[in-house]
Structure 1
Amino acid sequence: MKQPQGYENGTNKVCQLKRSIYGLKQAPRCWNKRNEHGFKVSNAAPCLFIRERDGQKLIIGIYVDDGIVAGTDSRELEVFIGELKSEFKIVSKNADYFLGIEIQQEEAFTKIHQKTYAEKCLERFNMSDCKPVSTPMLKDEETSTSGKVNKAIQFPYRQAVGALMYLMLGTRPDLAYSV
């Protein structure tokens, strides 16, 4: 990091930052240490924060610089978002998409899915025209133990497995067996 313009005097001085720099691996830790709104880290995930006050619950999910907020009281949500807006430059809108997961809010329930992501994966791996089957794997498939690789088949296997694992962890736990 360089000294600000106008402060250079030829010496090798060090600057102390009073905030985190976007993109550094320490940035999420700075956010966690900065918790000024009474949230506690969830036991389920280190990026999930919960605050219970006066019988009302507020939940925040954070991933790098993206976040999603849910609560039991809409007024409490509005107050909290107002507090965030006074501290940060944020965009507040209805949650219909977050980290590749689509969110559909209905009167009686909330549905989450990754249909668009799954379709993009099928296109990416040239499988848009594949036929669905009722079982995730062939019943009598023999696995090769010889270690020989068929050079004629060039497929980005690791990328496909990673994409399927993202689906599996997000909204499709049924894929776990076949992945």
Structure 2
Amino acid sequence: MGLVDKMVFLLKQGTDTLLVQIYMDDIIFDGSSHALVAKFADTISREFEMSMMGELTFFLRLQIKQTREGMFVHHEKYTKDLLIKFDMGEAKPLSTPMSTTTGLDADEEGEAVDQKEYRSMIGSLLYLTATRPDIQFVVYLCARF
């Protein structure tokens, strides 16, 4: 069992390793040996009703791309969906969203924002920072503001 995440399990058999992640009713697993992974899949499917979905491509809104060079995690679809949700589908990307030396000032004469939508936007952006550390600073400033 994982020390940080109690729903991550690691099995070592000799030189082989099996990694299992459980989240609510979803389970993902992989290992260093095809035989160990197949044995685990067979054992768990005899105990529980489950569907084998094949190669992992999405998990918790994360996109997973597996290549010979390794496994890559990104939020491309999630990011595009957010832009559309918050009416920014036509926004142009910038390499640095905000200067790290700039602070935010209150706009006393500005139009009030919808607090529910603002909180939704900040929460969505906070989740996005898992794969986009380059936006952590600006999201932190907006969340504090």
- Normalising by structure 1, we get a TM-score of 0.68
Structure 1 gap ranges (5+): 1-40
Q: Does 1:54 align with 2:54?
A: no
Higher helix share: 2
Aligned residue number for residue 160 of structure 1: 121
CA shift for structure 1 position 47: 1.9
**Distance in 2 between the 1:142 and 1:177 partners?**
12
Q: What is the percentage of aligned positions where both structures have the same residue?
A: 28
Q: Does 1:107 align with 2:68?
A: yes
Runs of 4 or more above 6 Å deviation:
none
Q: Which amino acid aligns with 1:176?
A: Q
Higher strand share: 2
Q: Which amino acid aligns with 1:136?
A: P
The secondary structure found in structure 1 opposite 2:138 is coil
**Distance in 1 between the 2:104 and 2:32 partners?**
52
CA shift for structure 1 position 111: 1.6
The correspondence for 1:174, drawn from 134, 137, 141, is 134
Structure 2 gap ranges (5+): 140-145
The secondary structure found in structure 2 opposite 1:85 is helix
When the two chains are superposed, the root-mean-square deviation of aligned CA atoms in Å is 2.1
| Count of aligned pairs between the two proteins | 136
Q: 1:143 to 1:50 in 2, by over 3 A?
A: same
